[in-house]
Structure 1
Amino acid sequence: MTPGRAVVWAGAPLVLLPERALWWPARRTLLLADLHLGKAATFRAAGQPVPAGTTQRNLARLDTLIARHGAQALVVLGDFLHAEQARTPALLAALADWRARHAALSITLVRGNHDSHAGDPPPGLSITVVDEPHLMGPFACSHRPQQHATHFVLAGHVHPVCVLAGPGRDRLRLPCFVADAGQAWLPAFGEFTGGWRVDAQPGRQLHAVGGGQVWPLPAA
């Protein structure tokens, strides 16, 4: 059984995964957004004392998803690398090792705003790099949320989070998937990425992610 929450967008059955990724069973394709690999290294290069190890944890989570679902393709909706300073020898070596473990996996990167500064991934990673929107079936794969004349948009960029109110002043801030008119936004896959609060509105569906589960929040 595939974990997560089943939805149908643009007529296509999909699964929202608690690892903050989207599974498209008919295409055996994983979609995710905003890895920001090397962000911690970028901060450390600027003298900020932030923890190490986020890249290895992100890649390990990808390993698990690919194995669990038998994925044949991966689509990254922008911001694969965080910045030019992220291209350290250690990070590039980790990526090369990871790619070697998944040599048969087709990978497409839809360029995001951070990719324009960080540069395309090294050619040895065999990642196809395209500009937005990248059309796949009924979907327009983009980095930035936008409307498309003929296709349902899948986007990242905003790192959406929702805030759940508990008793008193208790608040819980969680990543979320957002389905809006003609488009959906994926939460950031990467660790150490922060988030932008998205509130419920008429016609908008939020799916919160936490505790290894995905669940729909009440509509506005």
Structure 2
Amino acid sequence: MKTAYPIQLAGEALWLLPEKALYWPAQQALLVADVHFGKAAAYRSLGQPVPQGTTASNIAVLDDLLAALPCRQLIFLGDFLHGPGSHASATLDALTAWRARHRDLPMTLIRGNHDKRAGDPPASLAIRVVAEPMLLGPFALQHEPAPHPQRHVLAGHVHPVYRLSGRGRQRLRLACFRFGEHVSLLPAFGAFTGGYPVERDERSRVFVIGDNEIWPVS
């Protein structure tokens, strides 16, 4: 695990992780959004040439985080599987072996739009699946970044990225966390995901991920 970046949100201490995940020490909870397991396999099933090894890469990062952090629960903020083609045997075999290494860790999936299309994870993975919102402490944990009437929302879905401009025509497009007044966004955890540009204003904070570190945007 790389260096965590601590912040305060809704009265809680949270750690932003360069691995594109969030750790909540008080709950000993690891939160990740938009893993999209099996996305590459789904694309390959349609005859499109895409990278291999993305599921193994995502699993390796999760393994490293779970080894480094004291976790009582792992929460997926939607889009665990990408689509119907994600049920390829190689993908499910890899997930089964990964789950066996963490068989005693409670895992919860807050169902996202891709989960509705892909179907819930196989029961053998022992992942509890719930509809949004999942209320925990001061937060409403969701996939869709829709405001909640009483709680601060932590969500995924958007795959936020932030565009940095340098000298001349230099441009960087980096995955980011965006914390708003009522709704905050986690970056897409998956190794094979796109991104949607977000902006920063006086009521929001943006933290980009670069060189395996978290950088606040001022």
Q: TM-score of the superposition, structure 1-length normalised?
A: 0.97
**Contact 2:15/2:24 (CA < 8 Å) preserved in 1?**
yes
Distance in 1 (CA, whole Å) between partners of 2:8 and 2:115 is 30
Q: Is the 2:33–2:156 contact (alpha carbons within 8 Å) kept by the matching residues of 1?
A: yes
1-side partners of 2:61 and 2:34: how far apart?
A: 14
One-letter identity of the residue aligned with 2:213: Q
User: 1:76-110 deviations in whole A, cap 9, x for unaligned?
Assistant: 00000000111011111101100000011110000
Identity %: 51
**Residue 135 of structure 1 pairs with residue 128 of structure 2:** no
Query: Deviations along 1:152-199, whole A, 9 cap, x unmatched?
Result: 100000000001101100001100000011121000000110100011
Counterpart-to-counterpart distance in 2, 1:209 and 1:8: 18
Report how far residue 2 of structure 1 moved: 7.7
| 1:143-182 correspondence to structure 2 within 5 Å | 143-182=143-182
> Which amino acid in the other structure matches residue 161 of structure 1?
V
2:68 match: 68
The CA RMSD over aligned residues, in Å, is 1.1
Gaps spanning 5+ residues in structure 2: where? none
Partners of 1:41 and 1:60 lie apart in 2 by 18
Does the aligned pair in 1 maintain the 2:2–2:19 contact within 8 Å?
no
> In the alignment, which residue of structure 2 is the partner of 1:206?
206
- Conservation of the 8 A alpha-carbon contact between 1:82 and 1:118: yes
Partners in 2 of 1:43 and 1:93 — Cα distance? 18
Amino acid at match of 1:85: G
Amino acid at match of 2:101: R
1:26 aligns with: 26
Structure 1 counterpart of 2:10: 10
Distance 2:51 2:164 in 1: 28
Q: Is the 8 A contact 1:18 1:213 kept in 2?
A: yes
Structure 1 unpaired stretches of 5+? none
Question: How does the TM-score come out when normalised to structure 2?
Answer: 0.98
TM-superposed CA distance for 1:128, in Å, is 0.5
